[in-house]
Structure 1
């Protein structure tokens, strides 16, 4: 049905025909109150057909005057409606007298147009419906254009937020590679370059508008952490706690990276002995829970929000991306880790990859 009405030209012909068909049906039902011969059905059919035919030119005239000043447009509509009403009334009376009254001829020619006021009302109704529907279509088109523009801006904002990689990470990585080359650790330097290349390729080619399976996000996180592992060596401990079945859950691409980056910066790099980072994923009802925790010095928190801006733009960008993708159906909360450190918890709707979702649906139906 939507495709049937999608084309505006087709929509006009359907509504135009249905309108005149409705006119014929209503008049036929009204005629049942009085005794009428079968010939009256022919008269009604001809009246509806003539009305259908002579109002077609109005469409093209109204299209041309659509952008005229209102007073001129109203004047033209009234004059055209009156003219078409007079013509239609004459044809209707002629059909009625020729078919239903067997060739009756009135003495006064004004009898042919005596019912023009009634027909004028019908033509005004047709014109009102035409302009009403056209105005509604114009509003819908403008609304669609506005939504398209908003979506484009929305996508641009998401891409900007997603692509705000910390330049310090690149500088530190390149410096580490340079150091490895200077001390002849070419194999390690080569591996580090390869991982950096894979990580940058992932970050640049994954569309931030689309969600990716969690296993791909974990792959990117491991690439990032392996690069940092070369820098910090034994000072960095990494642990993954991924509940079985969550690997196919869809998440925004690189949603974990800024959280891990903050943990490295504030919990590992700031401590002489380094620190540990734990990445957790589990299901909770219809939600997916993600957590990045560390054993660093932590920070003051009030109601899940840090009191200072120590976390930089990472958390702000993450929250803005989640809000743009999930509206209000998400949560991002900071809590204290035990015995020390910080936890960043993300809750988003549990959405499985399409193939996995179809498999689960098929099993449930069986």
Structure 2
């Protein structure tokens, strides 16, 4: 069972407050008592720091409720509102503590109004430290909440974007498949038409049932791609030739589901369908260090307007879709390149080589 460390400031708010509040004032008492021992105070002197700590514990609770009530105010107005309560809290701590202190130190009693005011302000640094710590933690928690909401919103936006990209089935594929089925029915080739309908149904069910956020192994990806290619083989028969060259280590590599389908569809549309003799479609997978390298290659006419790995506007929607999915999922850890070969086009994808962990 995995054990995850929890940051102290990630505790529930009420628990965190009482732990820090009680612990802080207990620490204040201990520090005062140690100072009393160091200066050789009588044994009963412990009641002075104890009274100061108990009074501080109580008055700062009042400050807490006031701070919570005024939390929505701008910082300057909040400071203006809190000045008098902070001064008053310091004066209360001094009055309760000094009443006991004069039993051990007769010269500690104020003898003038100025001395009284000075004594009343003697605990202000303690109260200010408490207020500063309270505001710091509260601002931290607020910033943490806003950061979590921003991350959640960004994650939801990425998921929505990925789902949109993942569910963009090429209408040309659906139109051509349905048109082919219609032609087969008119030609009374019902057996072939039925196989094509079943293949289309299986492919669409796989496309829509799988979570677009879920990654699959390369073996599962090629199994799904086979559903698509079985439909195209019925359309093109011997005109569509397929080769695969997959390194053994790559079968278990993880990648986004149906990542290769738009690339294969693009190759069939521009390299196979436009040639009377059809064409060859080759799918390769290699491992290069910590990267999985996938290639989809055809022997079609290529693209004369291809420059710098970029397709001209209006062409290769499936390729741009795939490029964007990789960018959303992997950022700079992935790359997407399209180039003209001596004959045809080669599309190369590079993404982190990842596999399922044991027990996953």
SS of 2:200's equivalent in the other structure is helix
Aligned to 1:278: 282
Q: Residue deviations 1:19-43, cap 9 Å, x none?
A: 3244334445555652234434453
1:79 aligns with 2:84: yes
Shift of 1:106: 5.4
Query: Residue 363 of structure 1 corresponds to which residue in structure 2?
Result: none
Q: Which moved more, 1:160-169 or 1:188-197?
A: 188-197
Number of residue equivalences: 353
Cα deviation, residue 163, structure 1? 1.2
The secondary structure found in structure 2 opposite 1:164 is coil
The root-mean-square deviation of aligned C-alpha atoms, in Å, is 2.7
Corresponding position: 1:138 with 2:146: no
Deviations 1:260-288 (A, max 9, x none): 11100111011110001111112221111
Runs of 5+ consecutive residues of structure 1 not aligned to the other structure: 359-366
- Name the CA distance, whole Å, in 1 between partners of 2:76 and 2:40: 46
- Equivalence for 1:176: 180
Q: C-alpha offsets along residues 216-236 of structure 1, whole Å, 9 cap, x if unaligned?
A: 211121111111111111100
Residue in 2 that maps onto 1:225: 229
**Does 2:280 align with 1:293?**
no
Q: Is structure 2 residue 15 aligned with structure 1 residue 10?
A: yes
The answer on 1:341 being equivalent to 2:319 is no
Distance in 2, matches of 1:193 and 1:90, equals: 90
Q: Which residue pairs with 2:121 in the alignment?
A: 117
Change (3 A) 1:105 1:21: closer
Counterparts of 2:188 and 2:203, CA distance in 1: 24
**In structure 2, what is the equivalent of residue 361 of structure 1?**
none
Task: Work out which of the residue numbers 125, 130, 143 in structure 2 matches 1:126.
Answer: 130
Rounded to whole Å, the distance in 1 between the matches of 2:50 and 2:285 is 70
Q: Compared with structure 1, are the counterparts of its residues 160 and 64 closer, same or farther at alpha carbon in structure 2 (3 Å cutoff)? A: same
1:362 is matched with which residue? none
Cα distance change of structure 1 residues 51 and 171 upon mapping to structure 2, 3 Å threshold: same
CA distance in 1, matches of 2:246, 2:158: 31
TM-score of the two chains, using structure 1 as the length reference? 0.87
Task: Please say if residues 282 and 298 of structure 2, whose CA atoms lie closer than 8 Å, have aligned partners that are also in contact.
Answer: yes
Q: Distance in 1 between matches of 2:280 and 2:258?
A: 20
Equivalent positions of 1:1-366 (< 5 A) are 1-2=5-6, 5-28=10-33, 30-31=35-36, 33-97=38-102, 115-300=119-304, 301-303=306-308, 305-306=309-310, 308-309=312-313, 311-337=315-341, 339-355=342-358
The SS at the match of 2:121 is helix
TM-score normalised by the chain length of structure 2: 0.88
**Are the equivalent residues in 1 in contact too, given 2:295–2:347 (CA < 8 A)?**
yes
Structure 2 unpaired stretches of 5+:
none
